[in-house]
Structure 1
């Protein structure tokens, strides 16, 4: 926090927010209110506060927190923790084990990934092309979508050129 206040840009890599929340669930005094999956209601307060500390300070620096979350583990607790944090981030990048098993990298589930308020990050024309691209890939599974993107990106030098190459 102090570095950010002094004008520095700080990045925290957290692996994983799920494990942090589990640890707090183990050591927090019981509140008497248990959420589904055995998560104590108070156990998520500090991890949420930590994750919510990310910000851009006017006349200062910025604090960016990149955190992983465990999903599809078979644990109800992990599902509850993921759902609690899902809406708090600015973007979600889902990895796909099927892509990784096929040695397709990056193993990103493109249809399930995205950025909130992406309209602030690009021009209207770029945004329109991204929407067309997403609509086109909507009917593809994650393997087809990633292979399509990789194939199309190989022929371009940058994002602008890539988006211009999209028909629409």
Structure 2
């Protein structure tokens, strides 16, 4: 969207942050392609967004596209600084409408897992807890079952 904002002829409608309204049209169409496949099939589009840069333009672009994704993965500088990779903040990351992807029994186990992760001191400890527990499990179901066992 930043690149389109640079090269798109001015429409006269400028959003806050200096983003031209027309600059967002093509990127939005591109992201819409993930849901607009003829004859079925699936297309996954992965995008990144700059946040906490101090730029109003970055904030406007992020807010415009935030609701278009099905999943949000938040990277953590704190985790990265500790040389733990991938540096994903699992407390802030997630999938929208996961109730449509998971059965009720698995969904309940995922809720228990999230509850246990949020009890950790911070995102680093949550990731360490998740990783160490996953190493002890042979499958996703065994892993989720172990979360439920530890709450009893």
Query: TM-score normalized by structure 2?
Result: 0.89
Corresponding position of 2:33: 53
CA contact (8 A) 2:117 2:130 kept: no
Aligned to 2:134: 153
**Separation in 2 of the partners of 1:96 and 1:34?**
32
Partner SS, residue 43 of structure 2: strand
Please say if 1:122 is aligned against 2:102.
Answer: yes
Distance 1:28 1:134 in 2: 43
Q: Deviations over 1:64-117 (max 9, x none)?
A: 111111222221111111111110000001111110110112211111111011
SS state of the match for residue 53, structure 1? Answer: helix
TM-score, with length taken from structure 1: 0.81
Quote the Cα distance in structure 2 between the aligned partners of 1:166 and 1:120.
22
| Cα distance in 2 between the residues matched to 1:50 and 1:57 | 12
Report the RMSD for the aligned CA atoms in angstroms.
Answer: 1.6
TM-superposed deviation, 1:37? 1.2
Q: Give the structure with the higher percent strand.
A: 1
Aligned counterpart, 1:133: 113
1:24 is aligned to 4
Q: Which runs of 5+ in 2 are unaligned?
A: none
Q: For 2:89 and 2:136, how far apart are their aligned partners in 1?
A: 21
Question: Aligned to 2:44, what secondary structure does the other structure show?
Answer: strand
What's the secondary structure of 1:63's corresponding residue?
Answer: coil
1:83 and 2:37 equivalent?
no
Q: Which of the residues 50, 53, 72 maps onto 1:73?
A: 53
The separation in 2 between residues aligned to 1:80 and 1:33, in whole angstroms, is 14
